[in-house]
Amino acid sequence: MKRVILLTNDDGIEAEGLKALSEALQEIGDVFIVAPDREQSASSRAITLDAPLRVTEYSEKRFGVSGTPTDCVILAVHGLLSKKPDLIVSGINHGPNMGEDVTYSGTVAAAIEGNILGIDSMAISIASWNPTQFESACKAASYLAKRALGTDENKNILWNINVPDLPTKKIKGFKITKLGSRVYNDLIIKKKDPRGRDYFWIGGGTPGWNVEENTDFAAISSGRVSVTPLRLDLSDYKKIVELKEQEFEWKG
């Protein structure tokens, strides 16, 4: 029996990356798609609590949801699928998800939710805002999905994968990485509407990255597929030790 693979994304159910990924993974699993019915980029781990979720069933294994990527994973696992997925793959995202930007990403958030639910999960992105080489990302996703499904050695998987927007023959392999650091040069673009009122756009600047060895950005810059294992524990253990050595006095 084929293993069950749940696909989702944050670019919407009609996104080219999701369609390409679905076709690529059909060979290795029983693929179900539960994805937002519209663009949900930069939604992070938002969930819908104050409105009903509407589901459009396009086919027996393809559902559009009026919610976020996290909504999609929760709804798929607890409502739409008859069997718990063996693997969740989120993507292929149209654009990179590296460094601090993973905290904004709806693509990564879906994988995080899967991991919280005890399901091996991975997020995959093409490191270009106008991607053309979906074949390369699909090849990386298929290889890593087979690896995740075919072994017990790497359980509790939460991988963030970024693929250069290059033809398959020009990619130089895989690199296990840590998250890099973005150079924040975001611009606030201020304009006026026809009634003379101000409105704003966030994020008008061109993203930049600190070049540091063994980071996701360094891997992409060298033509390699970046595989970054993530964890949910955000505790700063070094600071915990430092603060325990200090005195905190409660004056009630």
- CA distances for 189 relative to 28, 30, 153, 203, 223, angstroms: 46, 45, 48, 8, 33
Closest C-alpha to 226, from 122, 80, 113: 122
pTM above 0.85, yes or no: yes
- Rounded to whole angstroms, the Cα distance separating 17 from 4 reads 20
How buried is residue 80: exposed, middle or buried, by Cβ count under 10 Å (0-12/13-18/19+)?
Answer: middle
CATH class of segment(s) 4-180+211-244: alpha beta
pLDDT of residue 187: 78
What number of other Cβ atoms are within 10 A of residue 55's Cβ? 17
Dihedral (CA of 143, 146, 101, 104) sign: positive
> Within 13 Å of residue 158, how many CA atoms lie on the same side as its CB?
20
pLDDT of residue 126: 97
Closest C-alpha to 21, from 126, 98, 100, 101: 126
Q: Determine the 3-state secondary structure of 155 from DSSP.
A: coil
List residues bridging with 65 in a β-sheet.
Answer: 36, 55
Closest C-alpha to 7, from 31, 43, 27, 28: 31
CB 72, CB 7: distance < 8 Å: no
Q: Structural domain boundaries of the chain?
A: 4-180+211-244
Per-residue pLDDT of the chain (252 residues; tens, 9 = 90+): 789 999 999 999 999 999 999 999 999 999 999 999 998 988 999 999 999 999 999 999 999 999 999 999 999 999 999 999 999 999 999 999 999 999 999 999 999 999 999 999 999 999 998 999 999 999 999 999 999 998 665 578 999 999 999 999 999 999 999 999 887 666 788 899 999 999 998 876 666 777 789 999 999 999 999 999 999 999 999 999 999 999 888 888
- Rounded to whole angstroms, the Cα distance separating 119 from 2 reads 16
pLDDT of residue 204: 60
